[in-house]
Amino acid sequence: MSRRIELLLEIIFLILIFLNSFLLFISIFLPIRPDAFETIIYLDLIASIALLFGYLLQIRRQKKNVFIKKNWNGFISITPFYFIGIVLLGMDEASLVLKILCFIKIFALIMSGRQVGRAVDEFVEKSRLVYGFTFFVVVLVVCSVAFFVVEQGVNPEVTTFEDSLWYVIQTITTVGYGDVVPDTQWGRVIGVLAMISAIGISSLLTAATTSSLMDKFRQEREALKEQSEDYVHRLEEKVDLLNSEMAKRNYLDDVTHDVQDIKSEIEELKELIKKKID
């Protein structure tokens, strides 16, 4: 049960780390609404606190000095630069210093994700889900940026990057609310690419999940086979031991019988000698 809880916490941490990294990335390079930027500030703060909690849990299980030396990037990944700079210090949202610090934090978050979510990372590598996840991220980023570039200023429904991102997410997930639609020819091409990619992503995730389940079943069968073989081997050893004990007992019975015969003969010899002496 404790292992499952730990795995669940790692998944939550990884989701927060990925979401935080993605939002920091678009806040650095792409125009977004002020209210959306404010949301990113507080989401970054929440993710930083959650990651700090994850590091504290690992410090309890490891030696503190060794953990800090191996996880120096953790100090960067748990620092909410936007919150400190904009909310506490009153810096400008377009500050180059803040953008550079947040860009560095993105790389620190990637390293932290592999450290905090080691069990999930091992599972993803074994199940090959990393390919489907990477494909999904690439399609999401490339298509949303491209759609924003070709539709901005032409499509009244696409004024900020959030509109473009919202359209691509709808398309990839096949939801399609219809509140954002492409106006340009290139925008339609990007939409078609996102639709086709969604089919590929679904196929990759399904294949990876099926492969992972099959590997799990195979491992369970092999483990059951090994347990059965070990049990049979132990039974054979017990049978051999019993046969050995029975053979020893039969041998002892024969020896005991021979000793009794010898004792009887000795008694007869004593009687015979006594009669001759008398």
**CA 199 vs CA 130, 139, 190, 203, 233: distances in Å:** 17, 12, 15, 6, 50
Say if CB 101 and CB 24 are below 8 A apart.
Answer: no
Q: Where are the beta strands (DSSP E) in 89-170?
A: none
For position 66, what pLDDT does the model report? 45
**Residue 167 dihedral angles phi and psi, to the nearest 5°:** -65, -45
Location of structure tokens 């078609």: 192
Type of residue numbered 85: G
Mean pLDDT of 137-150: 89
Tell me 178's DSSP state. Answer: S
**CA 262 vs CA 53, 265, 267: distances in Å:** 85, 5, 9
Give one word for 192, left, alpha or beta, with left for phi > 0 and alpha for psi -120 to 50. alpha
**From CA 151, how far away is CA 163, in angstroms rounded?**
10
Cα 137 to chain center, whole Å?
17
Q: Which two tokens stand for residue 106?
A: 């993105």
pTM to 2 decimal places: 0.64
**CA 31 vs CA 42, 54, 93, 163: distances in Å:** 18, 32, 11, 11
CA angle 28, 29, 33 (to 5 degrees): 75
Number of CB atoms found within 10 A of residue 215's CB:
13
What are the structural domain ranges in the chain? 1-123
Which range, 48-52, 190-194, 217-221, 234-238, is most confident?
A: 190-194
Q: 91-143 pLDDT, tens per residue?
A: 888 888 999 999 999 988 887 776 665 655 555 555 566 667 778 888 888 99
Q: Is 230 exposed, middle or buried (0-12, 13-18, 19+ CB in 10 A)?
A: exposed
Least confident residue range of 93-102, 117-126, 202-211, 219-228: 117-126
Mean pLDDT of the chain: 78
